[in-house]
Amino acid sequence: MTSATNLDTDLTPFPDHTQLPESDGTFVKNFQEHPQSIILTDSIKPVLQKRHPDGQYCIGQDSGIYWRITDPPEKGAEAPDWFYVPNVPPLLDGQTRRSYVLWREYISPLIALEFVSGDGTEERDKTPWRGKFWIYEQVIHPAFYGIYEVNKASVEVHHLIDGQYQLLPANERGHYPIHPLGVELGIWQGGYQNMELPWLRWWDLQGNLLLTGEERAEQERQRNERLIAQLRSLGVEPEA
């Protein structure tokens, strides 16, 4: 195994995302995780488009963040279930990202989220150099680290302050403000993709739920139907 002390001489330059494995061969733990990632990405897209009119950001969904060089290489990566990195290009040299390589780009995610599939021990593990919590706090440095447990209908959010994670208190709505994004994170009980579950979702800072594209379309359809009904009640037939 290559030691940390001789990396500069053994690997010049360090590998990039095209040279590193994009998977460690594991698979998604359950059928809820993929829809959960979609609902987070879809609903926050309008916020990110306003925040980044140049399109310079990326979102990873169960994608690797490489933080050190190991043998085998994939052991040097953590793969948050969902994360967002500001001010980086969505493509690299015209290629789709295979992973996010810290030693190539330096910018840490603003937020990383883990979806618990076990008892939460793995996501809270502070063992140096091995535990997820330790790696996020000490090396990858997302400003916010969220641990979501669908079976408990709960999320806890940690905020990086002076190099250490502090548990973020919930506000009066039971949500966790992510002020750099102008949003709140919390639990929403409802139906999505034919599953009724406590989903992890975004709200704005006024407490309005951020809708997915499908939800926005349905909201507009219902608004149009109400308008048509109001016009007909007044004896006005809407134009086709």
Q: Taking residues 216-233, report their average pLDDT.
A: 85
DSSP secondary structure letters along 129-195: TT-HHHHIIIII--SEEEEEEGGGTEEEEEEEETTEEEEPPP-TTS-EEEGGGTEEEEEEEEEETTE
Which pLDDT band, with edges at 50, 70 and 90, does 233 fall under?
A: confident
Which pLDDT band, with edges at 50, 70 and 90, does 232 fall under?
A: confident
Residue 92 neighbours by CB under 8 Å, 6+ apart = 16, 17
pTM: 0.86
Neighbours of 219 (CB within 10 A): 11
Which pLDDT band, with edges at 50, 70 and 90, does 10 fall under?
A: very low
pLDDT in tens, 182-201: 999 999 999 999 999 999 99
Asked whether the predicted pLDDT for residue 104 surpasses 90, the reply is: yes
